[in-house]
Amino acid sequence: MNLKIHSTLTTTITASQITPRVRKEKGQFSVKEPIFVTMGDQEVKLFAAWSSSFSKRVEIALKMKGINYKYVAESLSNKSPELLRYNPVHKKVPVVIHNGKPICESLVILEYIDEIWKSGPSILPEDPHARAMARFWVSFIDEKCSPAIKRIYRSQGEEREKAVQDATEHLETLENELRGKKFFGGDEIGLVDLSATFIALWLGVLLELAGVELLTKEKFPRLCEWIDIYLNCSIVKETLPAREDLLDHLRSLRRPAK
Amino acid sequence: MGDQEVKLFGLWASPYSKRVEIALKIKGIKYEYFEENLSNKSSELLKYNPVHKKLPVLLHNGKPVCESLVILEYIDETWKSEHSLLPEDPYARAMARFWAKCIEDKCTAAMRSIWRSSEGQDKVIEELTVHLKTLENELKGKKFFGGDEIGLVDITANLMALWLGVLLELKGIELLTKEKLPRLCEWIDDYLNHQIIKETLPDRENLREYMSNLLKG
């Protein structure tokens, strides 16, 4: 695809004439930064909330790909009419608007981003079986792991005990999946790592608030190591909220125990 | 062909299993079918899906793929025949994935609640009504969710086309009527009468009896 870049000299140059910069620092993945300026026909907006792990998945992905976007901060307790217009079915963040068209649901957005912007690192692998595995693990995290953690946080007594049991089992499954790998995606961050953003930060915060110790280095050495590495990736670090801010925020929302 | 060996572990009464069978048939893919028994799962099924121990499981050249929607995308990416399950355009693909997920999440949750006759039924039915009306709108000007041909969303909506209808009947809930949801009811007729769908889905009466027994038992 030939891309017209409008420089101040009004000379159009094609993408093949641009040398992508490759930046590789120790402990971080390489990112090729395309030298784009914001193009009117590539306008990207992101409606997101700072405390939402789903929002953050998308933000990290946009940054990984070097996509310029306008960030529209939403308040979960007071959603804008624009958000409700763009996502009438679920009324939730995140929503990405690309050339005026809305895309909702974080995983749908991640796949869309990967299909449209083929420069920069890939979010999904090439091979169909590897792609199926990635989607499988994402489904596992979203439908089993995260709900179990949230149940621990929201419940008491027997219900909580059962939730802890379930969560332990699910985390053990993830621990096994990390065998021999730096990230779930292999050597680079991929779809599963992005989806596991909840586990990297929100899980620890919720368990702290619940007073439950579960994710320890002794029980889950690989998972804990993954969390350290993931949270220290420069793009992840600059995108996620500070742990203390998230802790204070969730604490302030907490309903009294029954 | 040996290097195209496809096996499917399924259950005749499972909408998830049937999704995969329909996709395989639409694509003209030859496969070997293994009928599972939920109360006595085969050791092979447990080996190929150790995480969930559920069906359907697709085995392609010895490698397992689990979760029906994951399998549908895998089938579409691996066998690029004439009939695509997902459209070419990335935005249309995103829309298809959005609707498939929406139907899966909302329909499954509603059916689970109705099945158990859990508390707050009225609210559940109200929410389901809103969801079905949303789908009614989505069908405006289209024969199928996929347009002129069946696609990912239609196959995912198996659940709604047959299983939901049977469950609502068994529970005496009047919701899927031509008066309230004309386009959706027409879609159901067109879908259930599609050649491949008709030959793949279970017979309505057999399913009704199966579900009725499960509800009593």
Nearest residue of A to residue B138 by CA position? A89
How far does the CA of residue B110 sit from the closest CA of chain A (Å)? 16
Strand, helix or coil for residue A42: helix
Average pLDDT value for residue range A165-187:
96
Strand, helix or coil for residue A217: coil
Neighbour count for residue B18 (Cβ, 10 Å): 24
Give the C-alpha separation, A232 to A226, whole Å.
Answer: 10
Cβ–Cβ contact A128 with B under 8 A: yes
pLDDT in tens, chain B (217 residues): 334 799 999 999 999 999 999 999 999 999 999 999 888 888 888 889 998 889 999 999 999 999 999 999 999 999 997 799 999 999 999 999 999 999 999 999 899 899 988 777 888 899 999 999 999 999 999 999 999 999 999 999 999 999 999 999 999 999 999 999 999 999 999 999 999 999 999 999 999 999 999 998 7
pLDDT score, position A119 = 81
User: What single-letter amino acid sits at B171?
Assistant: K
pLDDT over 70 percentage in chain A: 83
* Residue B65 to residue A89, Cβ atoms within 8 A: no
pLDDT score, position A29 = 43
Going by C-alpha positions, the residue among B105, B127, B144, B17 that lies closest to residue A107 is B105
ipTM above 0.90? yes
Nearest residue of B to residue A117 by CA position? B90
CB pairs under 8 A between A and B: 57
B26 in Cβ contact with B201 (< 8 Å): no
The helix (H) or strand (E) run that includes residue A23 is: strand A21-23
Cβ–Cβ contact A42 with B under 8 A: no
Cβ–Cβ contact A143 with B under 8 A: no
Least trusted range by pLDDT, from A10-19, A43-52, A242-251, B25-34: A10-19
Going by C-alpha positions, the residue among A225, A232, A197, A199 that lies closest to residue A27 is A232
Reply yes or no on whether the pLDDT at A210 is more than 50: yes
- Looking at every residue in chain A, the average pLDDT score rounds to 86
pLDDT score, position A28 = 41
Reply yes or no on whether the pLDDT at A138 is more than 90: yes
pLDDT score, position A255 = 59
- DSSP string over B64-103: EEESHHHHHHHHHHH---SS-SS-SSHHHHHHHHHHHHHH
A257 in Cβ contact with A209 (< 8 Å): no
User: pTM for the full model?
Assistant: 0.88
Give the C-alpha separation, B208 to B215, whole Å.
Answer: 10
Between A78 and A119, residue with greater pLDDT: A78
